[in-house]
Structures are given as structure tokens and as C-alpha cells.
Amino acid sequence: MATVIVRYWAAAKEAAGVAEERSEAATLAELMTKITSNREGLARVVSLSSFLVNGDPVGRRAHETIVLTDGATIEVLPPFAGG
């Protein structure tokens, strides 16, 4: 299990109530389950979001296949308006 930093942007930050938090998880899927537990608003935003792990886009890869390492930074990026 890795200790990671989760950074929230825009609507995700508002829904989480914090800009950043630490968590522990082995995979991105496990992390998403942990951070959205008992946080319905955040769960809605996360379901629409894209993610960066250490600056690399996750894209359409299954979250169960994204293994996290100690010290990793996960960015939660909700859809942004504009262009």
C-alpha cells in the first residue's frame, strides 16, 4: 500500500472541501473508493473527472491497473468550462 497525495482542482476541490489530502491505496481504483466514501458530492465529481498520476494522464486505462507508489501525486481534474 502506498501513501499518496491527492490534489483536487475546481469542482473537485469544492466537493472535497480541501485542495489536497494524503491517503493510502495500492491502486487508483482503491484510492477513488477511499476518497469518495461518505462523500456523495465528491463521488459525483470524481465519476466525471480525469486523472494525472505523477503528471502522466491516466486516460482510458482501467483504474485497477494503475499501481500507486509511495509519494505519488494524483491530480483530480473535473471537466473545465471554456477552451
Q: Could you report the per-residue pLDDT of 18-27, keeping only the tens digit for each?
A: 999 999 999 9
CATH of the domain at 16: 3.10.20.30
In angstroms, the first-to-last Cα distance of the chain is: 37
Q: Report if residue 82 sits inside a domain.
A: no
Q: Residue 18 and residue 68: Cα distance in Å, rounded? A: 21
pTM comes to 0.93
H or E stretch at 31: helix 28-36
Domain count, the chain: 1
The residue range of the domain holding 71 is 2-77
Question: Tell me: the pLDDT tens digits for 49-80?
Answer: 999 999 999 999 999 999 999 999 999 999 98
